[in-house]
Each structure stands twice: as structure tokens, then as C-alpha cells.
Amino acid sequence: MTLNTFKTTNGFPAGEIHAIFANSGDLGFGRDMHCIRNGSDVAAYVTNFGDITTSDLQDANDAVAGTNPIATVAMEYSRIESPPGTAVEFDDPERVVKFYVYNAAGTQLLKAANLDGLGARPVPQLCMVCHGGEYQGGPVPGTAPAFNSRNDVKLKSSFLPFDLHYYTFAPAPNDKASQQAAFKLLNETIVKNTPPDPIIAEVIDNMYAAGPIQSENFVVPGWHDAAQPIKDGMYREVVARTCRTCHVGNVFPPLKFNQASQVIDRLGSVENRVCVQHVMPHAKRTHEIFWTSVGPHMPAQLQIFGDTFGSGLNGWNGTLCGDFTAGGATPVSFYTSTIQPIWDGNCTGCHIGGSPAGTLNLAAVSSHGNLVNVNSFQLPSMKRIKPNDVLNSYLVHKVEGTQASVGGSGQRMPFGCTGSSCLSLAQINNIKAWINSGAPPP
């Protein structure tokens, strides 16, 4: 229940492997990393410093100094305790990856964390976005598990490789060169075989095939093609940079992306997820790296790859990613392209100013800030929009006409609407989808 008991239970600090860096390629935190292997069991904890908006060099320096920690994330690869009353504490030999998040002081185990400034998401589901895994089912098929039984937490998640390409380091003795040996140990002793996974092992083996200094530009055999070097380039410059770390942990083998054919076979889906929905690359920092990259511009590299291997069989459209120029801006957000037009077309005729008090201003320049995590004027106990929580977002009740059911008042919105003059089901569903994605800003 506390970080200290996690350390004691797992035998820290004796025999630990230690590294300090900022993970500039995904979360943008300074990270003070401690890992240990005890036989078949593995444990790790990393204290985070700064956030996605602060200088990564400063975050790395803060991690060295131990200044202003914000939280600690911990993981175990170990057996699951037996149910209460069982004579043998560990009567099931299967080991699984478990996730823990502690507050800055390490005195409280948290059930959710905010990694990107867009709101807290639940643990372990938040961790599984990158570390992989699958839910074992719940009280209703297709829903998240209740976590009431041992099998509910056998999620099939993985430890992930330490890929140094987008790490930021403090000056010596905590610079990159000084820590190469530690990262090799972390990858080969901690990550590899935790749990056993041939695709993760393949990545780590290729990282050190040429020696003890991590290679950052290798191409795995499934992508190397001397006759079609575009495959090598796609892996080295795009997949390895903004896809690989999470996808190698995916429990669905075709999504591990260790073979060029796995991407080619689903180019239509890749095009849609990347260029239309803009949900991949998924982490906020990684998303920005992808869209603003130069030398090469990663979206352009994807476009060329798709135009080369796309066909009617894999669904490649070829026109959905738009025109590319080196260093281009991140594409228009879902809020700007889909949600703000709902306000503009149905709401801003009235909701355009800030007077009288309590009037909701839905003009584009201020709508998001006036909605998300702001108390409703008519029902102050409920937020106008609560990220990841449609039922407790008062605006949803107002546009659906269910405000009275939650203790609210006033008329359904848009004001005085009936039938087809109200928001359409598609518009309401888009608002709900935006909320369920964390209500991200424009």
C-alpha cells in the first residue's frame, strides 16, 4: 500500500540496477529508475519528475537531484497472492505483470494517474495502453473486468525495452555514455523474458548485436529487404521511432509490427487510425514527434510506403493523409474538426458572450476552457464536461434532455428544441466520444 513496503517486499536496494533519464519520446518525465530481479520475480519502480510541458533536460536534472517528485510508478512480475483463507499463500505458479502508482510522498496507492495533462485515467488500464495486455472479461461481456478474482488480473502485460533514441540525459556521471552498461543490464536482465516474448527479445537482441553500446538504427529481419529498401526506411524512421515500443507489447501477434507484412496487410486501418482519427501514435508527445518530424517527415514516409504497397485488398486510400511538407504542423484536432462545429452550428447564437454571469461562452477561442472541469451553473455539483465520464458531464444531460434526472433544471438545449431541431444522435455520440477520449483540447 506504500512505496516503502513495495521496496521492502522486493528487497530494494540490494542488487538493483539504477538509471536516470527523461523519456522525451513518450511521456516527457524525468525518471529515476530502479529495477531488481529475484530469481523468476522482477520488480521496478520509477519516480517521475516534471511533466510533458516542462524542459526534459530540467526534468532529468531534477531526477538526479531528487527535486520535486510528482509520483512513483512501480511494476512487479510475480505470482498473485492466494484468496484469503487459503493455506498456501502462492498456490498458483503463474507470474503476471502488476502495476502500482504512488503519490509524490510514496504514502498512498493511487487508482488513477494523469500522464499528459488531459485528465486522470484508471490504473491498470492506463498502463496497459502501452504495456499491452487484455481484459479477462467482466460482469457483462465486452466490459472491463471487475477485478474480483485472481484470473481478472492475469492481463498478459509486459515490461518494455529501454529505447535510448528519444531519451534526454543530465550531465556526467548521469549522461548517456556513462549509463550504457546499466541500460544493457536493464534490457537483458529485467525486460527480456518478463514475461517471455520472442518479439521483445528480438528487439533487445538487435539492440546489442553489434556490441555493448545500444544500436539505435537496427532493422529487424522481418522488415529488412535489400530489394525494397523502402521497407528498411519505414521501420527505421517511423515504426522504430513512434510505434515499436508499444506495439511489441501487444498481445495480438499481427499488431506487434515485427514484420513488414503486418503493416502492409492493414494499411487501410493504419491510414485511418493515423491520418483520419489521429489517435496513433497514441501518446501525446509521440504524436507530436510524428507529425512535426523532419529528415524525414514521418507522415510523408508513411504516405510513400502506403502508395508503394497499398491496394484494394488492404484498403489503402492514398488521399487521407493530405499534403506533406517537412516539419508540418500537427493535424487539426478532433475538437476543432468535429466538436467546435457543433457549438458553432447550434449553440453560439446564444452562447457567445460571458454576460450575464453564468452564461456559457462557446466561441472557439474559449469554449474548451469554459467546458472541461468547470462547475455547471445550474448544477454546481456536476462539471459541464468531466473527462472520461459522460454520465457526470452536465452538458450531455442538457443536450439529451435528461437534466431533471440528475437534479438539474431548465430546458433541453439547444434552447427550445424539439425533434429534428435538437442535436442529432450522431452529434451527441461525437460529443460522448470526445469526452470518453479524455476531452482533449483543440
Q: pLDDT (tens digit, 9 = 90+) per residue, 254-307?
A: 999 999 999 999 999 999 899 888 889 988 889 989 988 887 889 888 988 999
Average pLDDT over every residue of 239-253: 94
Q: pLDDT (tens digit, 9 = 90+) per residue, 92-106?
A: 999 999 999 999 999
CB 64 within 8 A of CB 175: no
- What does the alpha-carbon distance between residue 192 and residue 213 come to, in Å, rounded to a whole number? 17
Instruction: Please report where in the chains the cell 476552457 appears, as a residue.
Output: 369
Q: Which of 16, 327, 26 is nearest to 167 (CA)?
A: 26
How does DSSP assign 148-178, residue by residue? -SGGGG----------GGGEE-PSTTSSHHH
- What does the alpha-carbon distance between residue 99 and residue 83 come to, in Å, rounded to a whole number? 19
CB 214 within 8 A of CB 166: no
- Per the document, the length of the chain is 442
Q: Which of 239, 219, 241 is nearest to 229 (CA)?
A: 219
Average pLDDT over every residue of 154-164: 94
Average pLDDT over every residue of 373-377: 90
How many C-beta neighbours within 10 Å does residue 299 have? 22
Helices 298-309 and 284-292 cross at an angle (nearest 10°) of: 80
Average pLDDT over every residue of 196-215: 96
How many C-beta neighbours within 10 Å does residue 230 have? 14
- What does the alpha-carbon distance between residue 364 and residue 361 come to, in Å, rounded to a whole number? 9
Q: Is the pLDDT of residue 384 over 90?
A: yes
Interstrand relation of 69-79 and 95-103 (parallel, antiparallel or unpaired): antiparallel
Q: Note the pLDDT of residue 51.
A: 83
- What does the alpha-carbon distance between residue 372 and residue 380 come to, in Å, rounded to a whole number? 13
The pTM score is 0.73
Q: Which of 328, 356, 351 is nearest to 398 (CA)?
A: 351
Q: Note the pLDDT of residue 146.
A: 67
Angle at 250 between CA 179 and CA 258, to 5 degrees: 75
Q: Note the pLDDT of residue 63.
A: 95
Q: pLDDT (tens digit, 9 = 90+) per residue, 23-38?
A: 998 888 999 999 999 9
Q: pLDDT (tens digit, 9 = 90+) per residue, 400-424?
A: 999 999 898 888 999 889 888 899 9
Instruction: Please report where in the chains the cell 548517456 appears, as a residue.
Output: 176
> What is the rounded average pLDDT for all residues in the chain?
89
CB 234 within 8 A of CB 305: yes
99 bridge partner residues:
75
- What does the alpha-carbon distance between residue 237 and residue 301 come to, in Å, rounded to a whole number? 8
Q: Is the pLDDT of residue 324 over 80?
A: no
Q: Which of 45, 62, 67, 286 is nearest to 169 (CA)?
A: 62
Half-sphere exposure of 93 (CA within 13 A, CB side): 1
At residue 99, the 3 state secondary structure works out as strand
